[in-house]
Amino acid sequence: MPTTLCFILMPFSKKKDATGREIDFDAVYERLIAPAVREAGMEPLRADEERSGGMIHKPMFERLILCDYAVADLTTANANVFYELGVRHAVKPHATVLMFADGSGQLPFDISQLRAIPYGISPAGVPTDENKYRKLLTERLKDARNAAVDSPLFQLVDNYPQVDHAKTDIFRDLVEYSKNMKERLAQARNAGLDAVKQVEEEMGNIADCETGVVIDLFLSYRAEEGWKEMIALASKMSPLLAATVMVQEQLGLALNRDGQGEKAERVLQELIVRRGPSSETYGILGRVYKDRWEAALEAGENIKARGLLEKAVDAYLKGFEADWRDAYPGVNAVTLMEIKFLPDPRRLDILPVVNYAVKRRISSGTPDYWDFATLLELAVLGKDEAGAADALANALAAVREKWEPESTLRNLKLIREARERRGEATPSWTAETEAELLKAMKG
């Protein structure tokens, strides 16, 4: 019986991932992938093991096209691997298994929708829990024998690769539909939540709608604080779209704002496990813990509140460490450290780093509301009246959605109230700043 080949697409030797961690991909292959493939009854053939003469592209293309099975390690977003995966998805409808090193940073948007296996890596850059992940990969390969189509091209394009020329007219109509619906949504956002809901009714089956329009609808509900509508819409999306990082993050935000903090926590924690750490995911998770901390305080559950505050600080810190260019989780970490009865001394080290991060972003020429709001919060923390006045003016001019100044106002109140509890004097300009934010919130 001929040997069943499984083509392995992956980096080789030692490479650094997006977090700066060095991973030994030869060890990943030898200790994890190759044994799992053999256990599934196949013979692994790694791309860099080819020694055929002539152009390297010819044997690579042959194996991509002819091998019944393939495994692609997407860690480091290696350009060669992604090119090869694109070719594979174009020619094979199924039996391509994806994997990546857990904690190595988010996958690109276009691929983050697809089902992939995260595997553990030790600080030394070699696989951990090898038996566990070998077994998981073996099972996935065995399942792939009778699995449904896993290539996005074959999934999403009817009759691919025999695409009818008449499809061009359909495509043109879809582009026009997309343009019109986005214009409708822009108008609806100015008319209120009911107007946005009316547009959704006109769209019909959400799972069949163009992705850009669905996301625009999703964010239109967010702009109108339609948290229940966001939650409901996520359940109507196609499975691929609903599983994307952005949708899951915003679903977590909506669940939290709808009072479902524990469910929001589960959604975000599962996302981190599947897709790795990011400043945005941890930033939203930090907000979940922060809201639950405030609710525990109001209920008089002081011990529980203390634990939730520590969780919030930890989540925000992890978010800032995931991407030091994103000041949002950093400023929230510093603020929560400040409002403890005994302020966390770590805030003094982190605050100037956050300040530098946001000023670098502003100098890049693409600042938004959150950049100026961050400067405002940092100025209040540093008791810098002049800096706060400048940042407030810029923030108010950049407000897009009314929940934005509401969020900043909550943080400034927390800082002021914590200082008052400690007996610290609060200057009058802080109350004036809060009043201006309240005006912007009411709109």
- What CATH number did the domain enclosing 10 receive? 3.40.50.450
Residues 277, 205, single domain; the answer is: no
Note the pLDDT of residue 314.
96
Mean pLDDT within 254-268 = 96
- 401 and 262 in a common domain: yes
Over range 278-293, report the average pLDDT.
94
pLDDT tens for residues 418-429?
Answer: 999 889 888 889
Q: What angle do CA 158, 161, 164 make, to 5 degrees?
A: 65
- Indicate if the pLDDT at residue 2 is higher than 80: no
Please state, as a whole number, how many other Cβ atoms lie within 10 Å of the Cβ of residue 82.
Answer: 17
Average pLDDT over residues 122-137: 92
Verify that 212 and 256 share a domain, yes or no: no
- Domain C-terminal end among 156, 183, 208: 156
- Asked if 126 and 274 sit in the same domain, the reply is no
Q: What is the DSSP string of 196-228?
A: HHHHHHHH--GGGS-HHHHHHHHHHHHHTT-HH
pLDDT recorded at residue 355: 92
Residues 377 and 291 in one domain: yes
Q: Residue 45 in contact with residue 8, Cβ under 8 Å? A: yes
Model confidence, pTM? 0.60
Report the run of H or E that residue 98 belongs to, with start and end: strand 96-101
Q: How confident is the model at residue 215 (pLDDT cuts 50, 70, 90)?
A: confident
Q: In this structure, are 24 and 129 located in the same domain?
A: yes
Q: Are residues 204 and 292 in the same domain?
A: no
* Mean pLDDT, the chain, integer: 85
For residue 110, pLDDT over 70 is answered with no
Per residue in 306-326, pLDDT tens?
999 999 999 999 999 988 888
Average pLDDT over residues 392-398: 94
Token pair of 322 as six digits: 């995931």
**Across 53-62, 294-303, 409-418, least confident range:** 53-62
* pLDDT for residue 158: 60
Whether residues 287 and 222 fall in one domain: no
Domain boundary among 100, 128, 156: 156
306 shares a domain with 183: no
Question: Which of 220, 240, 260 is at the close of a domain?
Answer: 240
HSE-up of residue 413 (Cα within 13 Å, Cβ side): 12
Calculate mean pLDDT across residues 186-196.
Answer: 88
**Domain range holding 325?**
241-442
Q: How many domains does the chain have?
A: 3
Q: What is the DSSP secondary structure assignment for residue 76, as one 8-state letter?
A: G
The pair of structure tokens assigned to 20 is 């700066």
Residues in the chain: 443
CATH number, domain of 437, equals 1.25.40.10
Phi, psi of 140 (to 5 degrees): -65, -40
Q: Are residues 373 and 263 in the same domain?
A: yes
User: Is the distance from CB of 184 to CB of 176 less than 8 angstroms?
Assistant: no
Q: Please, is 276 exposed, middle or buried when counting C-beta atoms within 10 Å of its C-beta (0-12, 13-18, 19+)?
A: buried
> Is residue 99 domain-shared with residue 139, that is, in the same domain?
yes
pLDDT the model gives residue 166:
47
Confidence grade of residue 154 (pLDDT, cut at 50, 70, 90)? confident
| 20 has a pLDDT exceeding 50 | yes
Pairing type for strands 14-16 and 22-24 reads antiparallel
pLDDT of 54 reads 38
Q: Is the dihedral of CA 208, 100, 10, 95 positive or negative?
A: negative
Say whether both 267 and 374 belong to one domain. yes
Average confidence (pLDDT) over 98-113: 69
Average pLDDT over residues 353-375: 89
Q: Which two tokens stand for residue 373?
A: 């709001």
